[in-house]
Amino acid sequence: MKQISNLRKIFSLSVLLILASLSFNSQADHITCAEVAHDDITNYVTNTTGCELGEDDQDFLNPLMVNTDDGMFGHTDWEFVTKYEGGQAGIFTLDEVVPVDILIMLVFKGPNANSGTAPDEFVGYTLAEGEDTFEWQTMFAKYNDKKDSWNYQGVSHISVYWVPDDGGVDPQCHTCTEIPEPQSLLILSAGLLGIFINRRKLFK
């Protein structure tokens, strides 16, 4: 009976670990650019490796909105570098002051708050490693009820941020910290359970 009780405890612990992992992952994830109402805006900026919506419509610098909560792309140490004028579309080459071998993020700010555009948050893109030029088109649109269509709105401005202490980590890793998947926890729990059962058999 004691062995059964121990097995139940290990099983319960395994279930709790899996549920905790699922909960953590759901809280850490930002809204993806594929979930925007009018279109998947992931590829609206060239030479980028990631796209993520912010937590607000304003990308204030004091405090840095890109660093609030769990931060854009899992980083809370972004530093503001420079800003470009917006519009409907364009091609930009970063200033020489911006190195291309560290993690760089481009943040697009939409129209004013309560303008009814989608997305209504600012949008961040991580620039591909080694790239200093990008072509973009506005990703902000407003629905027209009468015409039953989306009208694209101009970008207010584009801000450039970097993580100076990133050490040249591949931008594709984003958070640069792996979170164990639920499947990994399940395998680990099963392994621990197997070890426990084998030890019980040895001491019988």
Average pLDDT, rounded, for the chain: 77
Residue bearing the bigger pLDDT, 141 or 23: 141
The pLDDT value given to residue 125: 97
- Average pLDDT for 1-8: 55
pTM exceeds cut of 0.95 = no
**Per-residue pLDDT at 203 exceeds 90:** no
Which is higher by pLDDT, 6 or 128?
128
> In the prediction, which pLDDT does 172 show?
39
HEC states along the chain?
CHHHHHHHHHHHHHHHHHHHHHHHHHHHCCCEHHHCCCCCCCCCECCEEEEEECCCCCCCECCEHHHCCCCHHHCCCCEEEEEEEEECEEEEECCCCCCCCCCEEEEEECCCCCCCEECCCCEEEEECCCCCEEEEECCEEEEECCCCEEEEECEEEEEEEECCCCCCCCHHHCCCCCCCCHHHHHHHHHHHHHHHHHHHHHCC
Q: What is the pLDDT of residues 87-116, one digit of tens each?
A: 999 999 987 767 767 889 999 999 876 678
pLDDT digits (tens, 9 = 90+) for 142-197: 999 999 999 999 999 999 999 876 454 444 343 444 445 555 555 666 666 666 66
**What are 10-55's pLDDT values in tens digits?**
555 554 544 444 443 433 455 679 989 899 999 999 999 999 999 8
Which of these ranges, 1-5, 50-54, 82-86, has the smallest mean pLDDT?
Answer: 1-5
